[in-house]
Amino acid sequence: MASEAEKSGAVTGAPERSDGREILLVEPRWPVALAILTFIAISVGLRIGVPHRESLGPHWLIPGIEFGLLACLVAADPGHLARRRRWLRRIAILLVLALAAATLLSTGILIRDLIVGGKVTNQASSLLASGAVIWLGNVLVFSLIYWLLDSGGPVARYLGERPYPDFAFSQQMSPELAPPGWHAMYVDYLILGLTTSTAFSPTDVMPMTAWPKLTMALQSIIALSVVGLVIARAVNVFS
């Protein structure tokens, strides 16, 4: 549990910037940036390899949102989190929600094409590429949602501002197995997003409040729809 000084934002021994404001050594941002860059690289690679694959809106729309999110992370300092960066957090949440909406729309378009028939569903390469991008985007988007919103976000988790978490990790339920002061970082939420899209249910992380339960249910439905329908259609295409 964080001390009263930590909760008030005055972290003992925290370095100061040139303007005298303290910097909280919360967590590095490079894992988040690396995950976004990897997804962008996969999307661009699949676009080049399968040029006729359908996309949502202009080809630049989704990468543009992702680069905007990446810019927010860089502006927030890749190594540290300044104490007052609330406007960047709001922008990041809006961009992630835009990506979530794009994921939902892309899933709906793919399901419609699978049901009524479409160009993408008659070519195995386009079908698998579309399914892979939607599935990977599902993992990335929901991991970012969990990371940004759980217990108020990275800074709030670090300072212990909320007495009860939205997610209960194994290290929190069995604190004797974790180092003192352990708190979840982005990699933990990336694994949470991956396991939810793979197992379609909670594994080692339990949702404790309403919004993570509903969000995990939505992610599981998207993943199950994409995996089940794409695999079923792909078998027919290959045969």
Q: What is the pLDDT of residues 127-143, one digit of tens each?
A: 777 788 888 989 999 99
Q: How high is the pLDDT of residue 54?
A: 58
Q: Is the pLDDT of residue 81 over 60?
A: no
DSSP three-state, residue 58: coil
Tell me the C-alpha to C-alpha distance, in Å, between residue 194 and each of 161, 204, 224. 27, 12, 13
Q: What is the distance between the alpha carbons of residues 103 and 66, in angstroms, rounded to a whole number? A: 12
Q: What is the pTM of this model?
A: 0.80
For residues 78 and 30, the answer to whether their CB atoms sit within 8 Å is: yes
Convert the pLDDT of each residue in 200-220 to its tens digit: 888 889 999 999 999 999 999
Convert the pLDDT of each residue in 38-69 to its tens digit: 888 877 776 666 655 555 556 667 777 888 87
DSSP 204: S
Q: HSE-up of 207 (CA within 13 Å, CB side)?
A: 16
